[in-house]
Structure 1
């Protein structure tokens, strides 16, 4: 079964890495789908973020690919024969927001699987990493 793990990944954090590592054990293939959404004001464009993700994933993870995508995740799933969306949850606030997205994607024919964050990584967010990082 193919799964997609979508996100802005601005930047790709240890929590994201851990989620991909766990998802690749559960699914035959995992696509890390880098969202191209200018409304989020990412620090770099989608292709650059996708390249950065590729650079940190181990080459032996041959069942994991990375793609930049502009559009609905459910559209990508239908066009590329992906059966499920994988999302990480750090806390109950994430659950509330992710549940609404999951309901929308389910109505569009693509179910979502939630994976809880590892406790030691739950406090790490891309926003926090960007805030603490030196200017790019």
Structure 2
């Protein structure tokens, strides 16, 4: 769409491969796209918005010159109206996502902002930011077993011909 500016909003905590895939597809549909990191007081992200914005920029190929990353506190539609964006891009992973997103899209449309939904690719649909955070937390809670912390081997296999 010539002259089009779209906004892809979210908390992106963390920015997952699914987010990156959706952004890759959306960026060829619009002249410019802004990844908008929402600052939402109801959510408690694991990192500040500016840190998450840096992580999003680092995840994107440098050749994506038509993608900008920004942060915003407030309604996404207010940001869109301020920047002149006419479209919000959202991803859908499940039918439950659709029901929630439909209500948001209806509200946004009354304010003059259209919503475009892109379905998650099947191989990426199972991973949500919530699942990624849970996995990351589980990994950090797991005790480290450095070489000097490992318990001594109690059984040593016999060595000999044909044994590895």
TM-score normalized by the length of structure 1: 0.97
Which residue of the other structure, out of 72, 75, 78, is the alignment partner of 2:78?
75
- Gaps of at least 5 residues in structure 2 are 142-164
C-alpha root-mean-square deviation of aligned residues, in Å? Answer: 1.0
Moved over 3 A (4+): none
CA distance in 1, matches of 2:49, 2:72: 8
Which residue of the other structure, out of 64, 68, 71, is the alignment partner of 1:65?
68
CA distance in 2, matches of 1:135, 1:69: 29
Aligned residue pairs, count: 136
Report what 1:116 is aligned to: 119
- Gaps of at least 5 residues in structure 1 are none
Displacement after TM superposition at 1:108 (Å)? 1.1
Displacement after TM superposition at 1:135 (Å)? 3.6
CA distance in 2, matches of 1:86, 1:9: 14
Higher relative contact order (CA 8 A, sep 6+): 1
TM-score normalized by the length of structure 2: 0.81
User: Does 2:6 align with 1:3?
Assistant: yes
